[in-house]
Amino acid sequence: MSYCLNPTCPNPENPAFSERCQSCGSRLMLRDRYRVQKALGQGGFGATFIALDESLPGEPTCVIKQLRPSGTAPHVLQMARELFEREAMTLGKIGNHPQVPRLLDFFEDREQFYLVQEYISGATLQQEVKAQGVFSEAGVKQFLSEVLPLLQYIHEQKVIHRDIKPANLIRRAQDSRLVLIDFGAVKNQVSQTAALQSGQTALTAYAIGTPGFAPPEQMAMRPVYSSDIYALGVTCIYLLTGKSPKDLDYNPTTGEMMWEHLVQISPHLSDVLRKMLDVSVRNRYQSSPDVLRALEMEPYLDSLAQSLVSRPAGGIKDRSSRFDDSAALLSNSSSGYSSAGVAQVAAAIRERRAKVAQATSATAHKLATAKSSGSGTMNTSSSLGSKSQVTRLFNTEGLRAAYTKGRRDFALHNLSLLNLVGIDLSGASFHSGVLERANLSGANLHNSDFGRASLNRANLRDANMSKAYLSHADLEGADLRGADLSYAYLNNANLRGANLCGANLTGAKVSDDQLALAKTNWMTVRPSGKRGLL
């Protein structure tokens, strides 16, 4: 089919290969190369279409955006043209990023302005949630770890997107990677000074963005880089609840969105999202790296309380002086933790991780020879550095019993050498845990968190690890033959010597360089979905 781009055409649909519109007589071929096939939608300033570029071999698909403002007043036309030209300039500047559509063409034809860009095949996150349901906590962490570096790149180019929302994030069908679209509302900081010197433009008279996703300062026409952080936080709430901002209640005193009662996530992630959504620019995260650093403060505070300091019933103030000042932060009320407290807790976590690594060999031996107790757990005192700490370790039955009773947080625990064949631990967190040489053959580990965990030489043969979070995990020498790693997040994971023969990596986030270090064969399913050697 050929589609007519005349805004006043009464019947724009025409037979394929037609030269002129049968209804209005307009030429259908745009610039003698683009044949529009159908309309995708129309916003306040432009209409979007799918077209074929008939000048190139294979006639690749592209997206054409036509300047088509909803009003005819001079200031509206001026604003529309500024936004249109700004989008073209921005895409030309940053479109070489793999998560941003490339600008292919920008021109005026028959007194109409057109922007041609790369076609991204796939579903938006809004469509994905409606079709498949809400995201889990691990899914939201994967989302943030993929989008935040992209946002950092955009901000480094002095660009504020101003319209981040689920409908503007497409999961590309080709590689399941998220792509940010619609740069028509961007604010270019480079030209801001010049605009102020030259006086008001049409853009200064209007707030740009989507109500509910845009923070107060943006609606007041004073966007900053952290305005995009706020919109990203609102997007996370949508992914967790399936509810748009207009469907949520707001605190009438503070203006804050009320969402926490609708989700079941760890206190740590709740704290991160709360700071992303702070209505005060001063208190909000200022940049993407700030959020990424906060997300790495795992395991969560609940796990820290149980495994690191084991707070007594009398409160933290009753503990002896052998515990450092960071432990005292856990005496805060259950309603949350201060920003300064989180920073100190993060330092304590990093110290704890280092100590756990030093004690791995000793505790693994104790764990392997330990006998089952009534509770299924055992407490061993070990000297970690210069301080004596209590490390809580599970045996096989204790771990199974704790999971059955509803526990999902096993972060920082040492589970080395355990025999966990066929166990169901889906959705559990083993962040920064030690599972070296553990036997998890045939286990259900779907959607589990193994971020920064040590799975060195673990047996994961035929395990279900679909959508598992394995960022920075150590899988050196692990047996993953036949494992389902579809849509798993393996960025920065160590796969040196890992056996991936027959493993399913469809849609997994993993680089070719990582896979080159692993063992594969013709039965290995690549992230693209194709089977064969990597």
> Does residue 153 sit in the same domain as residue 267?
yes
> Does residue 234 sit in the same domain as residue 145?
yes
> Does residue 97 sit in the same domain as residue 135?
no
pLDDT 10s digits, 483-506: 999 999 998 999 999 999 999 999
Overall average pLDDT of the 373-395 stretch? 42
Overall average pLDDT of the 438-467 stretch? 93
User: In the annotation, is 163 catalytic?
Assistant: yes
> Does residue 141 sit in the same domain as residue 82?
no
Residue 26: give its domain's CATH number.
3.30.200.20
Tell me, yes or no, whether 336 lies in a domain: no
Left (φ > 0), alpha (ψ -120 to 50) or beta: where does 531 sit? Answer: beta
Q: Which of 295, 314, 345 is the last residue of a domain?
A: 295
Q: Which of 268, 295, 322 is the last residue of a domain?
A: 295
Confidence category of residue 437, pLDDT binned at 50, 70, 90:
very high
Confidence category of residue 315, pLDDT binned at 50, 70, 90:
very low
Tell me, yes or no, whether 369 lies in a domain: no
Q: Please give the model's pTM, rounded to 2 decimal places.
A: 0.56
pLDDT of residue 107: 85
Overall average pLDDT of the 244-265 stretch? 90
> Does residue 128 sit in the same domain as residue 276?
yes
Tell me, yes or no, whether 305 lies in a domain: no
Ranked by mean pLDDT, the top range of 158-162, 195-199, 347-351, 373-377 is: 158-162
Count of other CB atoms within 10 angstroms of residue 111: 5
Q: Is 65 assigned a ligand-binding role in the annotation?
A: yes
> Does residue 199 sit in the same domain as residue 283?
yes
Tell me, yes or no, whether 504 lies in a domain: yes
Identify the residue with better confidence: 466 or 92: 466
Tell me, yes or no, whether 181 lies in a domain: yes
Ranked by mean pLDDT, the top range of 77-86, 99-108, 164-173, 328-337 is: 164-173
The number of folded domains in the chain is 3
Return the SS3 of 50: strand
Catalytic residue among 32, 53, 105, 163: 163
> Do 425 and 442 contact (CB within 8 A), yes or no?
no
Confidence category of residue 13, pLDDT binned at 50, 70, 90:
very high
pLDDT 10s digits, 508-533: 999 989 999 999 988 899 998 888 65
pLDDT of residue 165: 95
pLDDT 10s digits, 195-204: 333 333 334 3
Tell me, yes or no, whether 307 lies in a domain: no
Token digits of residue 336? 């949350």
CA distances from 499 to 249, 467, 476, 522 (A): 50, 19, 9, 13
> Does residue 80 sit in the same domain as residue 132?
no
Token digits of residue 107? 């021109």
pLDDT of residue 254: 81
Q: CA 245, CA 219: separation in Å to the nearest integer?
A: 15
> Does residue 188 sit in the same domain as residue 54?
no
Identify the residue with better confidence: 291 or 16: 291
Token digits of residue 300? 């969560």
pLDDT of residue 73: 66
pLDDT 10s digits, 21-30: 999 998 889 8
pLDDT 10s digits, 155-183: 998 888 889 999 999 999 888 889 998 87
Q: Which of 295, 315, 334 is the last residue of a domain?
A: 295
> Which amino acid is it at 137?
E
* Lowest-pLDDT choice from 170-184, 298-312, 316-330: 316-330
> Does residue 105 sit in the same domain as residue 144?
no
> Does residue 107 sit in the same domain as residue 141?
no
> Does residue 234 sit in the same domain as residue 113?
no
> Does residue 286 sit in the same domain as residue 148?
yes
Q: 244 pLDDT exceeds 80?
A: yes
Confidence category of residue 278, pLDDT binned at 50, 70, 90:
very high
pLDDT of residue 390: 28
- Percent pLDDT > 90 in the chain is 42
Domain containing 447 equals 415-534
DSSP 13-49: EE-TT-SB-TTT--B-EETTTEEEEEEEEE-SSEEEE
Tell me, yes or no, whether 348 lies in a domain: no
Residue 241: give its domain's CATH number.
1.10.510.10
Q: CA 379, CA 147: separation in Å to the nearest integer?
A: 41
pLDDT of residue 371: 38
Tell me, yes or no, whether 346 lies in a domain: no
| Cα Rg of the chain (Å, integer) | 27
> Over the chain, what is the mean pLDDT?
78
pLDDT of residue 445: 95
